[in-house]
Structure 1
């Protein structure tokens, strides 16, 4: 049996959605205060597998609305800079926003920035057949095979329902049957050669090479299951060819743009 990495996205909030970490600021300051700076450094040291998708910063209600919005925006930007300097990953749909004042309450607690994030963790490396094709799993439909026959050499095919967690090359668990179907097509058509093409959502420029990771993830799955490397190539198209226009209007559109396509090189 092969060793395979099993990846999952862990959601630890009650609704399995997100976690937050809050830092605080002194009066009229846009840099986090000393206590929060130390706490943030410790948090980053202890949380290497997080992806940040939002920073929302606030002020107390002492200044004017214009002043407070500008100050909160600087606070959000400075927290972002601290995270970037320490190698923290950001979601493709990441936002940093200064939301101005919080009225009433404790002034000290209102001068804050809330970091929203999710945790991605490698659970286990084990002797496993978790992603290996089993007989009962090979009863897949012929969607990819039919598309190849109908389109022919030089055409591209979207691997429908092969989707990924945001800002990663990790395939969503529900997409496993698509990988198995593609593997069966490659096995049944020994002369078939394909170029695997990765795409991202939300942004045109792929500064973290996420699209390449997505293409490589499919490539590695096929190679690990005995498809000869000479039949496969892979590349990134970043966010240059979205299915839905960027910025996307819904979460579903973002998921659809985070995709892999294959181009038929020869049959």
Structure 2
């Protein structure tokens, strides 16, 4: 498998299952397993034998919601790795081929067995000539278009005087460009960018607002606490992880910027005097870029 950084990676790979002209084939796994049972393996091997002429453009991995988010993220990647090992050197793979591990962060079926899968996306030889067209890639593209974050003066949420217990949607309505809004209850496992399941409600609320206001553009900002320096760039990775989930749920990538501030903008002096102060410093905020 060839995986390399390329300007093509950013173009529609996260929504690849929706692009017209591609075919797909799914392999299903048993609960908590990263290898398939005999019957499912036979189905995979039969598919390989009868599809040697196709070209694979992506493989996505999924899990059900059982287990922690961190465990499921790892499990979905192992499922993708299993499929890659089975098809390696047997079927042609796009040169800038990429795998995506969604874990449990996708719209799931009520039937849990249908969520434990890896899906192969491929095209037939008749479509090789229009491969880039199918993937939404134009030959004229030299580099991915990166939208520059406007130079906005940050407006701290505390100065906005939002109504007590205001919802995120209400805060968005009352905001202007540059307004910072704290996303309450988005939490991560210690020293990782893996989001805890308790964060689902807050993320769902953000997805709802972004879908309700299609012109809304935001910058997701990450902050950490309790250390002198963000040596592992954890604040940036946490912001990016929130973005990955939003994009996997259909929010256009161009609407979301990310930035990590480490410990450079604490609400309380470091070292913090209490868990309350640490929690206020350890936060995810959004800045309104456009409405």
* TM-score normalised to structure 2 length: 0.46
Q: For the residues of structure 1 that align with 2:249 and 2:72, how far apart are their CA atoms?
A: 24
* Pair 121,205 (structure 1): closer, same or farther in 2 beyond 3 Å: farther
1:124 corresponds to 2:75:
yes
Aligned residue pair count: 154
* Pair 242,264 (structure 1): closer, same or farther in 2 beyond 3 Å: same
Give the deviation of 1:133 after TM superposition: 5.1
1:225 corresponds in structure 2 to 249
Please tell me whether the aligned partners of residues 177 and 289 of structure 2 are also in contact (alpha carbons under 8 angstroms): yes
Give the deviation of 1:173 after TM superposition: 1.7
Q: For the residues of structure 2 that align with 1:167 and 1:244, how far apart are their CA atoms?
A: 20
* Pair 142,184 (structure 1): closer, same or farther in 2 beyond 3 Å: farther
Alignment of structure 1 residues 230-249 onto 2, 5 Å = 230-249=254-273
Q: For the residues of structure 2 that align with 1:215 and 1:184, how far apart are their CA atoms?
A: 18
Q: For the residues of structure 1 that align with 2:287 and 2:223, how far apart are their CA atoms?
A: 13
Give the deviation of 1:191 after TM superposition: 0.3
Q: For the residues of structure 1 that align with 2:221 and 2:235, how far apart are their CA atoms?
A: 8
* Pair 9,130 (structure 1): closer, same or farther in 2 beyond 3 Å: closer
1:3 corresponds to 2:61:
yes
Which has a greater percent of strand?
Answer: 1
Q: For the residues of structure 2 that align with 1:226 and 1:142, how far apart are their CA atoms?
A: 26
Q: For the residues of structure 1 that align with 2:243 and 2:175, how far apart are their CA atoms?
A: 21
Give the deviation of 1:130 after TM superposition: 3.5
Give the deviation of 1:162 after TM superposition: 1.1
Give the deviation of 1:249 after TM superposition: 2.1
Q: For the residues of structure 2 that align with 1:134 and 1:198, how far apart are their CA atoms?
A: 28
* Pair 121,251 (structure 1): closer, same or farther in 2 beyond 3 Å: farther
* Pair 226,193 (structure 1): closer, same or farther in 2 beyond 3 Å: same
Structural RMSD (CA):
3.3
